[in-house]
Amino acid sequence: MSSTEVAQVAHAELTALRHAFELARRGPAGGPNPRVGAVLRSPSGDVIGEGWHRGAGTAHAEVAALVDASARGTDTVGATAVVTLEPCNHTGRTGPCSEALIAAGVGRVVVSVVDPNPVAAGGAQRLREAGVDVTTGVLADEGRAVLGAWLASVERGRPFVTLKLATSLDGRIAAADGSSRWITSEVSRHHAHDLRAEVGAIVVGTGTALADDPSLTARNAAGELHGDQPLRVVVGHRDIPAGARLRGPGGELLTVRTHDPAEVLAELTAREVRHVLVEGGPTVAAAFVRAGLVDEVHAYVAPVLLGAGPPALADLGITSIGAAVRLTTRSVLPLGPDVLIVATPEREEH
């Protein structure tokens, strides 16, 4: 945040914005809409309302905060709205938040992240035209972190893609006889289910679907299905058997009859999927890497040596070390005996 922004934003407003970030995180992570939080402050500085977006079709955070203020019997005229994302300026499943704030008599709006979505953007300008004092770009890095994959998806015009790998220390995903349960620990598997719960879709190839008969569900530590399940996507031309676990309880099953990752993402973009988890196998994983369509890698690595068996990635067509796909490590997290390495392709740095 610049010195000019610091001068324009009171300490109490920064505190309110950080609380709004906490509210935003209560919203669903894997849906088509962003996680947004809002806090309303009276002219005297009291918090008079707060809210967050609970998912597609529900009130946006600003409107939820206005409803909360009304329920408390407080007057919003002259109030300050502190929001994590620029109020929308369009009518979709709900009306424009900019108009709701204007109608409520809000006098000032503090915004963390300007909305990059051309369909919804323009709220700050509309508010200014109505005489509302608006400050944008406040704690923007923190705001972008809360928006996560949604923001990257909107900026790229396609779903954000996380490639998940679960391997032995020597990069194998199964033993020579094909057995793979379990290379990684129970701690890693629980963590991977939490990751599944945050995405809109899980992608595997028909080879994995037929060989492993996965369910591709997101479950909690007790083995129960999470309330919101990701779309289950199988890429390839072979059919999924009628009795496959993919046809059991869980998210909708979608078969995309192609081997082109760009076509897969186009189909998922049309379905408003913002975050895709590619779980394999090696052929599909390599196809996404070759296409330059992997934005982040989550590599669960177990201290196990196999010496033989299928690798995590099929041939990438790389013949020299200079052509290697290099990544920047973002974090390393111990998970029981394993470690999770989160890394991003170096092209993201450019």
Domains and CATH numbers, the chain: 3-154 (3.40.140.10), 158-349 (3.40.430.10)
Q: For the residues of 11-27, what is the DSSP string, one character each?
A: HHHHHHHHHHHHHHTTS
Mean pLDDT (whole number) for 26-42: 90
User: Which positions are catalytic?
Assistant: 62
**Within 13 Å and on the Cβ side, how many CA atoms surround 21?**
18
pTM of the shown model: 0.86
CA distances from 51 to 26, 42, 47, 95 (A): 10, 15, 11, 16
**Measured between alpha carbons, how far is 193 from 191 in angstroms, rounded to an integer?**
5
**Measured between alpha carbons, how far is 246 from 252 in angstroms, rounded to an integer?**
9
Q: Collapse the DSSP code of 274 into the 3-class scheme (helix H, G, I; strand E, B; otherwise coil) and give the result.
A: coil
What are 127-150's pLDDT values in tens digits? 999 999 999 999 999 999 999 999
Examine the pLDDT at 349 and tell me if it is beyond 70. Answer: no
pLDDT for residue 99? 93
pLDDT for residue 348? 44
Rg (CA), the chain: 23
Mean pLDDT (whole number) for 24-32: 86
- Per the structure block, which two tokens stand in for 215? 């369910």
Examine the pLDDT at 3 and tell me if it is beyond 60. Answer: no
> Which residue is it, tokens 């057995």?
179
**Sorting pLDDT into bands at 50, 70 and 90, what band is 104?**
very high
Mean pLDDT (whole number) for 243-256: 94
pLDDT for residue 93? 67
- Per the structure block, which two tokens stand in for 58? 């529900």
